[in-house]
Amino acid sequence: MKIKYRIAVLFTLVVSFILLLLCASIFYFSNLNRAFSFRERIKNRAITTVSLLFKVSGINPNLLRRIDEITQISLDQKSFQIFNSAGNIIYSYADENVTPVPINANILLKAKEKGTYFFNYEGRDVVAVNYTDGDNSYIVVGAAFDKDGFQKLDELKLILLFSFIIGVLITFLSGLFFSERIVHPIQKITKEVKEISSQNLSRRIELKEPKDELYQLSYTFNDLMNRLQESFEIQRRFIANASHELSTPLTAISSQLEITMQNERTADEYKAVISSVYDDVKNLNQLTRSLLEIAKASGTSDGIELSLVRIDELLMRLPVELRKTNAAYNVQLHFDTFPENEDKLLVFGNNDLLFSAIKNIVTNACKYSPDHTANVSLSFSDYELYIIVKDNGPGISQKDLDLIFQPFYRGEEAENKHGFGLGLPLALRIIKMHKGNITIKSTVGQGSQFTIVLPIGRSFHLI
């Protein structure tokens, strides 16, 4: 069932329930009012009857019966009985084909105690009234059938039933109308979303006032599309750059081999060609490994072996490891202050991936510093630790700062340096997997400072 029909049906059920309660209440209280009014009429007639009998001279029981006979219009199926204090009947009247209400001692006693006692007998309303005339006490019992009252109740019942049916119908139609207006913006959003494809990612949902839930939905979807479009653009650039970087050494290898095969060469010439091809193969192998590491670091930490890693011990491996890469590289470690609680030195993560990320940043610092020196220090807060890597290289321009974490991007200062532009993107993805971040401060001509922010082990699962 479509949502607009569900809304209309739910709205109709709620309003119908309210209408039903309203109609039932009207009928119930109307019946109570009918019963109260009719019993008061019977009571007044009963008192009038007994008053005529005892207070009006010349009225005897036979004359009183005659008066009751000729007043049939006011009350239907009426009967009146008067009892003295001993419980004996001293007057009785009943319409034709009407049986007087049988009265027992219990009813007379209740009338004496309460003054007025109401009850029903065979569909008729009965009133027993305690009447005092001087020293004498009488119980007068009047009974009648409220024909007009019940007829009006039946008419009211039909009116309420008709009103209820009409009200339900109007409610359902109104619910359909308003639900259509509510659902229309959703239908419009759905139509606009269907027009978006991988070839048309720039299309967005039009945002309209007021800023209600549908506005928030459209805004959130547009934000999602912005991120998807950015991801697609990054993926396209990555594939294009990766294809270019992979094809370059392959083209060089095939060209050298093709030229070598055209003529006979000396052994030294063959060795030179083989050496050149070998260098290209090593570059290709290094590029392939970097691409694989980028792919591994593109997901989340799920499925990766994680454990507590002590950062200071990890950093102490850097000087030796970087000298293996280049004997000129020098890493200066500055551990001026250590936290009193050594738990702050522990991070929750993968030892090899973290070392690879930090090594890439420190390697860049050594590579671009004139003296090939990188200064690495540690600082701490309550929930995070900071690995600070400084160099005295040429610095990074503001334009390049916004792009250096994109795969294969290389700034102006990197054009004459060997590399593929994958080190920093790989480092950032690894740190992001560990719920951390990398920030940069750089001044052109003075050097750069990379700050790696990682949550300490005890707060890793709180992020």
Which among 449, 324, 448, 442 has a CA at the least distance from the CA of 386? Answer: 449
CA dihedral sign, ordered 259, 260, 263, 266: positive
CA distance 319 to 334: 12
For CATH 3.30.565.10, list the domain ranges present in the chain: 307-462
Rounded to a whole number of angstroms, the CA Rg of the chain reads: 50
pLDDT of residue 414: 55
CATH class, range 307-462: alpha beta
Fold that domain 213-296 belongs to in CATH: Helix Hairpins (1.10.287)
| Structural contact between residues 403 and 418, judged by C-beta atoms closer than 8 angstroms | no
pLDDT of residue 376: 94
Q: Which long-range contacts (CB under 8 A, 24 or more apart) does 370-373 make?
A: 371/330, 372/326, 372/328, 372/329, 372/330, 373/330, 373/331, 373/332
For residue 192, give the DSSP letter.
H
Other Cβ atoms within 10 Å of 184 Cβ, number = 11
Q: What are phi and psi of 416, to 5 degrees?
A: -100, 15
Structure tokens at 99: 């049986």
Residues present in the chain in total: 463
> Under 8 Å CB-to-CB from 386, ≥6 apart: which residues?
378, 379, 380, 451, 452, 453
Taking only the tens of pLDDT, the chain with its 463 residues reads 788 888 889 999 999 999 999 999 999 999 999 999 999 988 988 888 888 877 776 677 777 777 776 665 568 888 889 999 888 988 888 888 888 999 999 999 999 989 999 999 988 999 999 998 878 889 999 999 998 899 999 999 999 999 999 999 999 999 889 888 888 877 887 887 887 776 677 777 778 777 787 788 888 888 888 888 777 776 776 666 566 556 766 877 888 888 888 888 888 888 888 888 887 787 677 667 766 665 655 555 555 677 889 998 999 999 988 888 788 999 999 987 777 787 888 998 888 888 888 988 998 899 889 999 999 999 988 889 999 999 988 888 888 887 787 776 766 665 556 566 677 887 888 888 888 999 999 888 889 999 999 998 876 555 5
CA distance 396 to 441: 9
pLDDT of residue 57: 66
Other Cβ atoms within 10 Å of 383 Cβ, number = 13
For residue 202, give the DSSP letter.
T
For CATH 1.10.287.130, list the domain ranges present in the chain: 213-296
For CATH 3.30.450, list the domain ranges present in the chain: 3-152
Per-residue b or e along 108-132, where b marks 16 or more CB atoms closer than 10 Å to that residue's CB: bebbeeeeebbeebeebbbbbbbbe
For residue 70, give the DSSP letter.
T
| Structural contact between residues 389 and 370, judged by C-beta atoms closer than 8 angstroms | no
Q: How far is CA 411 from the centre of its chain?
A: 45
Q: What architecture (CATH level 2) is domain 3-152?
A: 2-Layer Sandwich (3.30)
